[in-house]
């Protein structure tokens, strides 16, 4: 079976689902913005995520919720790097950094981070590929239609699955051409990032249903459906559910994602997801 090495951890793909815990050190993320913005709160939360069963912790310093505006490199460095600096000393699980900026990635990797999670799929900063190649670490390439500020302003697809697949073929070839080892590439179809939801069209559900199409590309698949808008739209009885009320729907999406081929789940609710997916893994694997 294929292996994925992240820092000092070796994961056997297909053996057990990898749980990636979300740590947003931002004031404005869609679900938990501001809760872990302060240094002490971020450190405590990371320790809690590890204790709850996270295999990797993904630290993000820039909100990418629909309508979010970008922040400067310096601001992102000020938010992320002090937290990474402390956590590499105390965590036993590897740290991923959710960034598309090469300067942020380089500083974090120099400190001991072990993975980069790029929502732009090596589109925004051409230097990022070289940084990842130089450090020989995994990178997750995500598909996003547009940019966070306007990505939900009427996205259009002629063939959703084909468009995402074509994107991955192009970007994985580019990544490898820049020296990134194929064994270090992960793909993420970008649940909630420029995908239609509501009014009878649920692109995110279509993606999860057809994960086998992306599996054909032979890269590990990461799914980040946790607490996303489509869950609130579908699960709400009389009105859409707020992010904090989307746990059950998130677990449903996570379970079907794993059944259909997801290798990594990026989640806010680590304890609940770990307990749920341990059962799914036992049944299907």
* Span 211-258, pLDDT tens digits: 999 999 999 999 999 999 999 999 988 899 999 999 999 999 999 999
User: Is residue 228 annotated as part of the catalytic site, yes or no?
Assistant: yes
Q: Are 263 and 13 in contact (CB under 8 A)?
A: yes
Reference 247, options 258, 237, 235; nearest CA is 235
Judged against a pLDDT cut of 90, whether residue 31 lies above it is answered with no
Whether the per-residue pLDDT at 34 is higher than 70: the answer is no
Token pair for 144: 């996003």
Question: What is the C-alpha to C-alpha distance for residues 281 and 82, in angstroms, rounded to an integer?
Answer: 36
Burial class (CB in 10 A: 0-12, 13-18, 19+), 133: middle
Q: Please report the pLDDT score of residue 150 as a whole number.
A: 58
The separation between CA 240 and the C-alpha centre of its own chain, rounded to angstroms, equals 23
If you average pLDDT over residues 81-92, what whole number do you get? 97
pLDDT band at 46 (very low <50, low <70, confident <90, very high): very high
Assess whether pLDDT exceeds 70 at residue 175: yes
- Does the annotation count 51 as an active-site position? no
Q: With CA atoms as reference, report the closest residue to 193 among 241, 235, 160, 239.
A: 160
Task: Identify the active-site residue in 266, 274, 275, 285.
Answer: 266
Closest CA to 175 of 119, 128, 215, 106: 128
> What is the pLDDT confidence band of residue 55, given thresholds at 50, 70 and 90?
very high
Catalytic pick among 106, 196, 227, 228: 228
CATH code: domain of residue 279: 3.20.20.20
Distance CA 55, CA 83 (A): 18
Q: What's the domain count of the chain?
A: 1
Residue 19: which domain range?
3-284
């Amino acid at each position: 079976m294929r292996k994925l090495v992240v820092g000092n951890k070796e994961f056997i793909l297909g053996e057990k689902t990898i749980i990636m815990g979300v740590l947003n050190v931002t004031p404005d993320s869609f679900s938990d913005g501001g809760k872990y913005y302060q240094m002490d709160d971020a450190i405590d939360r990371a320790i809690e995520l590890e204790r709850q069963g996270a295999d990797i912790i993904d630290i993000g310093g820039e909100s990418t919720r629909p309508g979010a505006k970008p922040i400067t490199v310096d601001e992102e460095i000020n938010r992320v790097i002090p937290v990474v600096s402390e956590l590499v000393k105390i965590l036993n699980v590897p740290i991923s950094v959710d960034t598309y900026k090469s300067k942020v990635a380089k500083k974090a990797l120099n400190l001991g981070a072990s993975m980069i999670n790029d929502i732009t799929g090596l589109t925004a900063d051409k230097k990022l590929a070289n940084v990842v190649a130089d450090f020989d670490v995994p990178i997750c390439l995500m598909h996003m239609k547009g940019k966070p500020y306007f990505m939900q302003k009427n996205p259009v697809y002629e063939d959703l699955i084909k468009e995402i697949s074509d994107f991955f073929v192009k970007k994985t070839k580019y990544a490898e051409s820049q020296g990134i080892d194929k064994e270090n590439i992960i793909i993420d179809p970008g649940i909630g990032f420029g995908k239609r939801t509501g009014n009878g069209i649920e692109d995110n559900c279509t993606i999860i249903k057809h994960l086998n199409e992306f599996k054909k590309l032979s890269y590990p698949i990461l799914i980040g459906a946790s607490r996303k808008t489509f869950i609130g739209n579908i699960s709400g009885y009389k009105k859409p559910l707020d992010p904090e009320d989307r746990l059950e729907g998130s677990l449903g999406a996570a379970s079907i994602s794993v059944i259909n081929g997801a290798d990594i789940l990026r989640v806010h609710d680590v304890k609940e997801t770990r307990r749920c997916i341990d059962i799914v893994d036992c049944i299907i694997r």
